[in-house]
Every structure is written in structure tokens, then in C-alpha cells.
Amino acid sequence: MWRRGHDPVSFAGHDVIDAFDRQSWQDRAPDRGVSAMFNIQHHERIGSTNDEARRLAEAGAPHGTVVHADEQAAGRGRFGRTWFSPPGNLYLSVLLRLDLPATRTSELSFVTALTVADAVDALLPKQSKATLKWPNDVLVNDGKIAGILLERADAAQIIGIGVNVLEAPRNAPYKTATLVGAGGIATVDGARDILLASLAKHLEAWLEHGFEPIRAAWLARAHPIGTLLRASIGGRAEEGVFAGLDESGAMLLDTPDGRKRIVAADVSRGASAGT
């Protein structure tokens, strides 16, 4: 039995978030903190929090279920890569049941990137600001500090987030960063709560105002329009000038062969990639 301290609106046997429920869900935020908005399930060690969130989704777990682990034995990154997951970092997956058309779920990638960037900013010294790289990498001083893996299960959306609090992979093929290394003061649980509060805020704004303000906020934090980027996928690479995002969040790249619309890729700067 799943409990979050109120009677959820139920649909097809699941706890879904519709306009009414969304309001009551958000109303609980200010006075009761993230534990009232999210049902956090903590594990000392797990394979992958995304896998566990998928299992819970298939078992009918409601909107707002969070799987948090101190360590992952089989943490997964984008494109089937391994995500370095020793103790000392934040690993969590949030299960959402959003009543949205599938065509809009790509927007969630940008909502989550902004969520994580704001949380990272809150934990870093004032002068430091996280930046973003398409589609959802979060960087500090050009080093990747967090990764986001979005998946679907049983009509639920799963947002997997890994944040380097103390540890970063030593031999990653890109520059890395950690919160503590960048001068931040953070415990993993403190970072988790700030992150979840930030997620609640950004989800609310997105559901209320749509993608346009999210897209604008993402662009304001990302590589500027005009930046030379390289997009690689499956052994192929396109190099060109960043020309913005289309209305669904696809990256527009002006290449020597014309404008390309990129929906999935690893992106790095210019010809000699740093991150």
C-alpha cells in the first residue's frame, strides 16, 4: 500500500497527477518539505535506482515515488554506458505519472536539467553557476557534475539523476567536476532534498506555463547560440554552429550541409572536444 499522507486521486488503479491533484500536491510543499511531496525509499546499495523505479512503476507505485541509493552496483548512463556510482554521491530516480501526451515527454529532459542546475547552484559558492550542455548535462567550470537518464515504464516517467557530490570518475573521456571539489558544502541527503524541492518547483512551472519559458531558461544557461558544437552518435558525427532548440527541444545545428535537427547525440564543443 502506497501512502503519501493524503488521499490521492486515482486513475486506472494508479495514483496519477491531474490538474486537481497537482494543486493539492504542490500545496503540501511549503510547510511539510520534500518528504510530504515525495515518497522516498532509501537503499544503502542497489543495482540501479532507475531499474528499481521501473520495478515499482510496474507494481503500481504512485506519482512522487523516489528511489535513493548511497551506492549503485550497476548504475546506468545514456547510450547504455556505465554510471560511476561509488558511495559519496547522489543517485536517485523519481517516478512521475504525468497526464501528458507522449510528444511532450522530451520536454522533461530540459525541466530536469534546470532542476539540477538550480540545486547545484544552491550548494555552490555564490560566484559559481552551473551551465548546461544539450540535452541535459549539468556542468560546473566545464566539468560534468551531474547526469540525467529519462526512461518510461508502465506509462510512468522515470527521471534518473546522478550528482557527483564527492567523487568523480577518474578516467572519463570528458572533464568532470564534483560539488565539494568546486567549493560547495553538501551532504548527500541535503543535496537530495534541495534537488527534490527544485524539481517540485520546476515541474509546477512547466505544467502551468508550458515549455516555452523552460526552453528560454535552458537557453540562457547553455552554450550560446553560435557556439561551434560536435554531435556524435553511433560512430557518426556532425559539426556545426548551435542555432537553438526547436519547439520540442531538438537541437538545431547549422552544418556545411545545411540545418540539421538532432534528437539524440553526445555533444561536445568544437572540433577538439573538452566535455
Query: What's the CA gap between 131 and 60, in Å, rounded?
Result: 36
Decide: is 221 part of the binding site for ligand BTN (CB under 6 A).
no
Question: Among residues 69 and 98, whose Cβ is nearest to ligand BTN?
Answer: 69
Decide: is 147 part of the binding site for ligand BTN (CB under 6 A).
yes
The residue from 49, 115, 164, 268 that contacts ligand BTN (CB under 6 A) is 49
Beta strands (DSSP E) in 102-195 are 131-133, 137-140, 143-153, 156-163
Decide: is 143 part of the binding site for ligand BTN (CB under 6 A).
no
The residue from 25, 83, 134, 206 that contacts ligand BTN (CB under 6 A) is 83
Count residues binding ligand BTN (CB under 6 A): 19
Query: What's the CA gap between 128 and 116, in Å, rounded?
Result: 14
| Other beta carbons within 10 Å of 212 | 9
Question: Among residues 11 and 79, whose Cβ is nearest to ligand BTN?
Answer: 79
Query: What's the CA gap between 110 and 106, in Å, rounded?
Result: 8
Of the candidates 147, 120, 58, the residue with the CA atom closest to the CA atom of residue 95: 58
Pairing of strands 266-269, 228-233: antiparallel
Decide: is 77 part of the binding site for ligand BTN (CB under 6 A).
yes
Decide: is 148 part of the binding site for ligand BTN (CB under 6 A).
yes
Decide: is 48 part of the binding site for ligand BTN (CB under 6 A).
yes
Instruction: Note the residues at the interface with ligand BTN (CB under 6 A).
Output: 48-50, 72, 75-78, 81, 83, 91-93, 147-149, 160-162
